[in-house]
Amino acid sequence: MPRIVLGRALHPAGQALLDARADLDLVVLHDPPVAAWHAALAEADGAVLWLERIDAAALAVAPRLKAVSRIGVGFDTVDVPACSARGIPVMVVNGANDLSVAEHAMMLLLAVARRAVDIDRQVKEGGWWPEGGPRMVDLAGRRALVVGYGRIGTRVAAYLRAFHMEVTVLDPLYHPARIAADGYRVARDLHAALAEADVVTLHCPLTPATRHLMDSAAFAALKPGAILVNTARGPIVDEAALVAALESGRLMGAGLDVLEAEPPNPGNRLLRLPNVVISPHAAAGTEEGMARMARQAARNVLDALDGRPDPAMMVNPEILARDPSAAAAT
């Protein structure tokens, strides 16, 4: 009987799909430490993971593993080449969380622009209007730079335009004509685009090329008084450079759903800055978003174990060409 190991219990909408299969052995963990995760993988045929890692060490103790399904669209916690070498489909929930994350990015942007958290705290502590600190600003008429034009980035660009902002998009993976056809300016150079941006919102994957994309040089190039929003991955931003830009006043503020280390060290200086709004990597965590992701993550692992993984949900669909039976099944 195939065994599926879950790094945490799924939303009931997805768990029900797994529970309906009497031919499966389900092992549900809850944010397991590495040793417990590896122990569970030892006899696993499929794995459904949140932030748990499928790396070389995990694969070495999981000889039966045939499917990896992420509850999300990022895959930086998975050694994709190593999985591909073993013919293991790596599945993500494309299209399940883009609406939730895009709305969250706008929430963070508005919270910073209108000082929502700072002002709320001031009133609840017995004050009224806080003295000093950054002013509140309108979004209309300002220029936004969207870095990454995938499912989330395209939604955020549309939301920004609805707020009457001028939108520029930077994404070397998309043909400039496609971006221009959607009505946005096309950026080809990051630093040149940063110099004109009042808002920068990050929606690119974490890769060697994007790690510390926003470094000290990028913040030096950024237009003074800008707002940074990051709902992508923490290491895309060099936190030391971000703190310096915030403390110097070069940045008006930052809205962050992701950090370089999660959860953050209590000594992280970002936690003490009033012009920073932080959420706990929860952008996709709406009731609706969790249900969509759980259903798709469950379908993905079941499809892969049944020999018919959906190429549209695979990070490594090229492995299907090496397996004629799997390719025929799709």
pLDDT digits over 25-46, tens only?
A: 999 999 899 999 999 999 999 9
pLDDT value of position 128: 87
Mean pLDDT of the chain: 94
Name the residues annotated as catalytic: 233, 262, 281
3-state secondary structure of 90: strand
| Rounded percentage of the chain residues whose pLDDT exceeds 70 | 96
pTM: 0.86
H or E, element range at 44: none
Read off the pLDDT of residues 236-247 as tens digits, 9 standing for 90 and up. 999 999 999 999
Higher pLDDT, 257 or 31: 257
Residues found in the chain: 330
- The domains spanning 3-96+287-329 and 98-278 adopt the same CATH topology: yes
The tokens for 190 are: 């990051």
Record: fold of 98-278: Rossmann fold (3.40.50)
Tell which residue, 184, 11, 218, 5, has the closest CA to residue 96. 11
Quote the pLDDT of residue 66: 97
pLDDT of residue 133 exceeding 80: no
- The percentage of residues in the chain with a pLDDT greater than 90, rounded to a whole number, is 89
Q: What angle do CA 110, 276, 291 make, to 5 degrees?
A: 60
pLDDT at 165 over 60: yes
pLDDT given for residue 325 in this prediction = 47
Mean pLDDT, range 122-151, rounded to an integer: 89
Q: Which backbone phi and psi does 174 adopt, to 5 degrees?
A: -110, 140
Output the six-digit token pair for 276: 């920073």
Q: Are 236 and 206 in contact (CB under 8 A)?
A: yes
| Spatial contact of 269 and 291, defined as CB atoms under 8 Å apart | no
Specify the pLDDT at position 262: 93
Sketch the domain layout of the chain as residue ranges: 3-96+287-329, 98-278
pLDDT digits (tens, 9 = 90+) for 140-151: 999 999 999 999
Residue 330 predicted with pLDDT over 50: no
3-96+287-329: CATH topology: Rossmann fold (3.40.50)
